[in-house]
């Protein structure tokens, strides 16, 4: 893994100046980042930061208000995802995704779920005719290959013993792995996983990590991951991009991001002026060292820094008297109007409408601007959420 900026050829996905507006609400504002080929890139940030919206733009559920999303395939072809019809994104650009809420065919067996995922390939082999289903040798070959591929991914996901059980009978963690296996049956070059570890116990999280590392090491499929479970993010990611209020606030290696005061402030949900106090409470040596030495310039935000309250600047350091300060330029929620004393939202994310409670996991995840809790982003933090 290298911290150097990837060249265009290294990037399987280039997100350039992406903006997504819902009426007056700017869910994503001028976001740029790259996901490198063959790596696991994590997209993290507090609730409402815009992570799922980025996924929805990449996978065609939303058409971006502005920006370019370029998918560079291994064969040298490139696709502008924002211009492709939805159904062509998996078929031509080879992008697959999973959702925050499990979307298996719960009444179908595990094997059937994986065969359904290969429906397009099978229909093509049939020549799209009923006669083709019975007559074409090509169909029989494709059918046998589909079963082999399904079996392969059931083994990889450690689910082959339950191949004939209904998917709905599986434990939660196994259903998550089955979803990933199903996505892999489509032969993706980019696999987008929306909170795959949400609601998993530690043993299930370890099995998930093993599956994702296996995919990374042995298939050449690149992974883009939204995850609130920092144990998963820190263990398996090569590269982490942090969003807050739809803007990139940090971008770099897991270690660089974990010790970035802007990220800590965003996750702790504190105002800039309170960061010093909370970091001292945290007592994390890495963080304190980072504050002592100043930020790593190679990991600062790019041109996509927060704009809601001005640019986030690299002004973390000691002032006279050994006070540790963080720039007041950082984007923060709930700023108080000095004149009226009334709280006002600092960003559109604060206007996030309530989402259906059924879509929320029962496990807590870091709420943007929640009361300060002394935890670094490197600590495990259970996810759940919406889509
Ligand atoms: N279809 C929509 N219509 C209106 N607003 C939306 C829509 N989709 C997302 N938003 C808003 O965009 C912002 C970003 O939401 P998004 O779900 O992308 O955040 P997130 O980082 O994925 O959050 P979480 O971690 O809670 O899943 C929120 O304010 C959300 O309410």
CB-ligand 1 contact for 381 (6 Å cutoff): no
ipTM of this complex prediction, to 2 decimal places = 0.96
Give the Å distance between the CA of 123 and the centre of ligand 1: 36
Domain end marker among 179, 198, 218: 179
In this structure, the residue with its CA closest to atom 8 of ligand 1 is 53
* Residue 214 covered by a domain: yes
CATH number of domain containing 369: 3.40.50.300
**What three-state secondary structure class fits 195?**
coil
Q: At what angle do helices 137-156 and 119-126 cross, to 10 degrees?
A: 170
For residues 325 and 206, state if they share a domain: yes
Q: List the residue whose alpha carbon is closest to atom 3 of ligand 1.
A: 22
pLDDT tens per residue, the chain (387 residues)?
444 444 445 899 999 999 999 998 999 999 999 999 999 999 999 999 999 999 999 999 999 999 999 999 999 999 999 999 988 999 899 999 988 777 788 788 998 999 887 776 666 655 556 656 566 666 667 677 888 899 999 999 999 898 889 988 999 889 999 999 999 999 999 999 999 998 889 899 999 999 999 999 999 899 999 998 888 899 999 999 999 999 999 999 999 998 888 888 887 766 656 666 666 665 555 555 555 555 444 443 333 333 222 222 222 223 333 332 233 333 333 222 333 333 333 333 333 333 333 333 333 344 444 333 334 444 443 333 344
Q: Which of 199, 153, 147, 161 is nearest to 177 (CA)?
A: 153
Nearest to 143 by CA among 121, 117, 113: 121
Distance from the alpha carbon of residue 68 to the mean position of ligand 1, in angstroms: 20
Sheet strand arrangement including 78-80: 25-36, 11-22, 66-72, 78-80
- CB proximity list for 3: less than 8 A, separation 6 or greater: 252, 253, 256, 298, 299
Instruction: Determine whether the shortest distance from the Cβ of 247 to ligand 1 is under 6 A.
Output: no
**Do residues 298 and 308 make contact, with C-beta atoms less than 8 angstroms apart?**
no
Q: Is 50 in the pocket of ligand 1 (CB under 6 A)?
A: yes
Closest ligand 1 atom to residue 46 Cα is 25
Let me know: does 232 contact 205? Beta carbons within 8 Å: yes
For residues 132 and 73, membership in a common domain is answered with: no
What angle in degrees, to the nearest 10, is found between the helix axes of 285-293 and 261-268? 130
259 in Cβ contact with 286 (< 8 Å): yes
- Taking each helix axis from N to C end, the angle separating 261-268 and 272-282, rounded to the nearest 10 degrees, works out to 100
17, 38, 288 from 329: Cα distances, Å: 21, 35, 21
Residue 166 sits in the same domain as residue 192: no
SS3 category, 306: coil
Same domain? 204 vs 164: no
- Residue 293 is predicted with a pLDDT of 55
Residue 100 belongs to some domain of the structure: no
Q: Are residues 118 and 137 in the same domain?
A: yes
Choose one of 129, 158, 179: the last residue of a domain. 179
Distance (angstroms) between ligand 1 centre and the Cα of 384 equals 14
Sequence-ordered alpha helix ranges (H) in 166-322: 172-184, 202-219, 230-236, 254-258, 261-268, 272-282, 285-293
**Which residue, 146, 179, 212, sits at the end of a domain?**
179
Q: Is 386 in the pocket of ligand 1 (CB under 6 A)?
A: yes
- Which atom of ligand 1 has the smallest separation from the CA of 246? 14
pLDDT of residue 367: 43
Which residue's alpha carbon is at the smallest distance from atom 17 of ligand 1? Answer: 52
CA-nearest of 239, 256, 248, 265 to 375 is 265
**pTM for the predicted model, two decimal places:** 0.71
Number of residues written out for the chain: 387
Asked whether residue 233 is domain-assigned, the answer is yes
* 84, 200: one domain: yes
Spatial CA neighbour of 375 closest among 300, 268, 297:
268
Cα–Cα distance for residue pair 367/49, rounded to 1 Å:
10
Cβ 23 under 6 angstroms from ligand 1: no
Estimate to the nearest angstrom the gap between the alpha carbon of 372 and the chain centroid.
Answer: 24
Whether 36 and 155 share a structural domain: no
Residue 211 falls within a domain, yes or no? yes
Task: State the pLDDT at residue 263.
Answer: 87
Shared domain for 82 and 111, answered yes or no, is: no
115 and 225 inside one domain: no
Whether 300 lines ligand 1, by a CB cut-off of 6 Å, is: no
Of 26, 46, 52, the residue with max ligand 1 atoms within 8 A of its CB, to mutate for a pocket test, comes to: 52
Distance in Å, CA 245 to ligand 1 centroid: 10
Strands 25-36 and 40-44: unpaired
Ligand 1 neighbour 52 (Cβ under 6 A): yes
* Beta-strand relationship, 190-194 and 222-226: parallel
Core vs surface per residue 275-305: b (16+ CB within 10 A) or e: bbebbeebebeebeebbeeebbeebbbeebb
Residues 314 and 196 in one domain: yes
Sign of torsion over alpha carbons 72, 73, 78, 81: negative
For the chain, how many structural domains are there in total?
2
Out of 24, 42, 51, 365, mutate this one to test ligand 1's pocket (max ligand atoms within 8 Å of CB): namely: 51
For residue 266, the model assigns a pLDDT of: 82
Residue 320, domain extent: 7-94+188-387
Check residue 313 and give its pLDDT.
28
Q: Whose CA is nearest to atom 31 of ligand 1?
A: 352
């Amino acid at each position: 893994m290298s911290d150097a900026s990837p060249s265009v050829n290294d990037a399987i996905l280039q997100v350039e100046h992406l903006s997504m507006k819902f009426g007056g609400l700017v869910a994503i504002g001028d976001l740029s980042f790259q996901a490198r080929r063959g790596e696991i890139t994590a997209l993290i940030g507090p609730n409402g930061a815009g992570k799922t919206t980025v996924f929805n733009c990449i996978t065609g559920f939303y058409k971006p208000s502005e920006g370019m999303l370029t998918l560079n395939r291994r064969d040298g072809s490139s696709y502008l995802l924002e211009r492709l019809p939805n159904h062509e994104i998996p078929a031509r650009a080879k992008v697959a995704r999973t959702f925050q809420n499990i979307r298996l065919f719960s009444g179908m067996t595990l094997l059937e779920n994986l065969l359904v995922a290969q429906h397009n390939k099978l229909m093509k082999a049939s020549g799209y005719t009923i006669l083709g289903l019975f007559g074409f040798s090509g169909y029989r070959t494709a059918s046998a290959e589909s079963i082999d591929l399904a079996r392969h991914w059931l083994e990889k996901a450690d689910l082959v013993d339950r191949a004939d059980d209904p998917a709905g009978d599986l434990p939660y963690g196994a259903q998550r792995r089955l979803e990933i296996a199903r996505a892999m049956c489509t032969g993706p070059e980019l696999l987008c996983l929306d909170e795959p570890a949400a609601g998993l116990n530690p043993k299930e999280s370890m099995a998930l990590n093993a599956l994702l590392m296996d995919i990374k090491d042995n298939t050449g499929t690149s992974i883009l991951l939204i995850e609130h479970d920092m144990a998963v993010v820190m263990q398996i990611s090569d590269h982490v991009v942090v969003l807050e209020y739809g803007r990139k606030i940090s971008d770099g290696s897991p270690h660089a991001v974990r010790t970035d005061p802007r990220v800590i402030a965003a996750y702790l949900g504190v105002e800039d002026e309170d960061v010093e106090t909370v970091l001292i409470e945290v007592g994390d040596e890495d963080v304190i060292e980072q504050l002592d030495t100043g930020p790593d310039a190679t990991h600062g935000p790019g041109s996509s820094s927060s704009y809601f309250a001005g640019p986030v600047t690299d002004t973390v350091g000691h002032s006279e008297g050994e006070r540790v300060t963080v720039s007041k330029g950082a984007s923060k929620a709930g700023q108080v109007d000095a004149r009226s004393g009334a709280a006002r939202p600092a960003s559109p994310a604060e206007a996030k409408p309530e989402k259906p409670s059924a879509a929320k996991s029962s496990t807590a995840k870091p709420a943007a601007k929640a009361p300060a809790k002394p935890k670094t982003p490197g600590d495990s933090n259970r996810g759940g959420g919406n889509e």
